Amino acid sequence: MLSFDINKYSQRLIAHIQRLTPNVEVGLILCVTTLIVAIPAVIIYRLYFHPLAEVPGRKIHAITGFLTQWKSHIIGTWLREAAQLHRQYGPIVRIGPNHIAVDGSIGWPQVYGHQPGKAEFSKYPNFIFPGDGMSLIGAQKDDHRRQRRRPG
């Protein structure tokens, strides 16, 4: 038969918790203090000292990219919002702490166009092309050149 003495185990548990309490309190104070200091420091850095701080856009987009991702992936209204931001702030808009949106009216040839004597702009590595990857758009430089020059 199993005998279970609840008083014995409850006293041991209480003694163990009392030994841990100062450590837990110090750890909790340290975590809260770190958050109280770190979060405003990151916000101030992203708004005023970040390399993209001078790019126009909403301050909330400079602080966090969550709103952009939410409107893009969950709500699905990001394209309308991006067009409105471009109308309000111009052709280059900051849409995240480390991201900008460039209107197609400027920058397209400079970013994606062929420039003699310079290396080609590489394909986006995370984009997945279905099939065997032999599409003209998804092909790497040599395959792309071969497909372009193929007769017929």
Tens-place pLDDT, residues 57-103: 999 999 999 999 999 899 999 999 999 999 999 999 999 999 999 88
Of the two residues 4 and 142, the one the predictor is more confident about is 142
pLDDT score at 115? 72
Of the two residues 71 and 117, the one the predictor is more confident about is 71
State the alpha helices, DSSP H only, in the chain.
6-44, 59-63, 66-69, 78-89, 108-112, 141-149
Total domains present in the chain = 1
Of the two residues 91 and 106, the one the predictor is more confident about is 91
> Hunting for tokens 């006293």 — which residue is that?
11
65 inside domain: no
102 inside domain: no
For residue 85, count other CB atoms closer than 10 A to its CB: 21
Query: Is the alpha carbon torsion for 77, 79, 82, 87 positive or negative?
Result: negative
The pTM of the full predicted model, rounded to 2 decimals, is 0.60
- In eight-state DSSP terms, residue 73 is I
34 inside domain: yes
Residue 15 confidence class, pLDDT cut points 50, 70, 90: confident
118 inside domain: no
